[in-house]
Amino acid sequence: MGMSPFRLFKLTTHLSGILRDLEEGGIHIEVGDDFAKYRSYRCQQIDRGPIYPIFDVASSYIDRTNGFWICGFNSSGELIHTQAVRLLDLSGISLARHLNIHRHKYITPDSTPDPDLTYYSGPEALDTITGQVCYQGEFWLRAHGLGGPRSQGATSLLSRVLFEIMVGTWDPSFVFALVPKQLAAKGAHLRYGYCHCEPGRWLGPNQQVTEEDYLIWMGANDMANALTQAPQSLQRAASVSTVQSTTASDDAKGRLNAKANV
């Protein structure tokens, strides 16, 4: 079903305002669905971990029908931001089952001695998230560049761009991301625009915790409510040190990174 004229007008209005605000803050946005091009962008980032398999055309089937990416560039044309979203058809299957079957696409490389015997557990929502589900990941905002970020609130605006396009295109039942524990403790889910956050962890072959990732998620009503709120403008220079510490943490993990990977 296509988007209503009213929804299309709101989407266009919100996006134009957000993109203008980001441009004024020094971030030029590119949106695409060619994941071979996205892979080439990511492969140029020698100071960052590899692209996650779920967004890598070398290991996953992803194109315009089930995904898109957003990249941000500074005035010199340098890549300073990435994020991507993947549409998953979980009809008749829970997110818990999906993550168990496709764990290799979500586990951070080299984080466990045996990915085949590593699984994700903890959040109750794993059993209730099903249907048409979106996964947000690859969220990264460089801690340097922009003279150190010149504004606060870029993370929220960048995530909002993805949500606006995602809901307008697919109208999913759920969206989720995986966030490192240290970012979740700082309220990362709120910056990314999520209203639910549950502790989770990856357990290795001997039941050892190989990584602690929190599940952040929203249902259709949550997304609808979030998108009725007017996007906030960037807050110039007021708390640059806060933004730098936040993006430095995002930098270190590269997930959504809301491991997003969110």
| pLDDT (0 to 100) of residue 243 | 38
Single pTM value for the model? 0.87
How far apart are alpha carbons 169 and 199 in whole angstroms? 30
| pLDDT (0 to 100) of residue 246 | 43
Residue 259 counted as domain residue: no
How far apart are alpha carbons 78 and 44 in whole angstroms? 11
Residue 205 counted as domain residue: yes
Query: How many domains does the chain fold into?
Result: 1
| pLDDT (0 to 100) of residue 258 | 41
| pLDDT (0 to 100) of residue 142 | 87
Report residue 79: phi and psi, to 5°: -70, 120
Residue 51 counted as domain residue: yes
Residue 262 counted as domain residue: no
Residue 248 counted as domain residue: yes
Beta carbons of 140 and 251 less than 8 angstroms apart: yes
How far apart are alpha carbons 49 and 143 in whole angstroms? 15
| pLDDT (0 to 100) of residue 129 | 98
Residue 87 counted as domain residue: yes
The secondary structure of 62-114, three-state, reads: CCCCCEEEEEEECCCCCEEEEEEEEEEEECCCCHHHHHHHCHHHCCCCCCCCC
Low pLDDT (below 70) residues in the chain:
1-2, 144-152, 235-262
Interhelix angle 154-170/5-24, nearest 10 degrees: 160
Residue 258 counted as domain residue: no
Residue 168 counted as domain residue: yes
Q: Provide the CATH number for the domain around residue 167.
A: 3.40.630.30
- 144: containing domain: 5-253
Name the nearest CA neighbour of 161 among 69, 40, 261, 247. Answer: 69
| pLDDT (0 to 100) of residue 230 | 87
And the tokens for 260?
A: 């997003």
| pLDDT (0 to 100) of residue 241 | 34
Determine the residue type at 259: K
| pLDDT (0 to 100) of residue 152 | 59
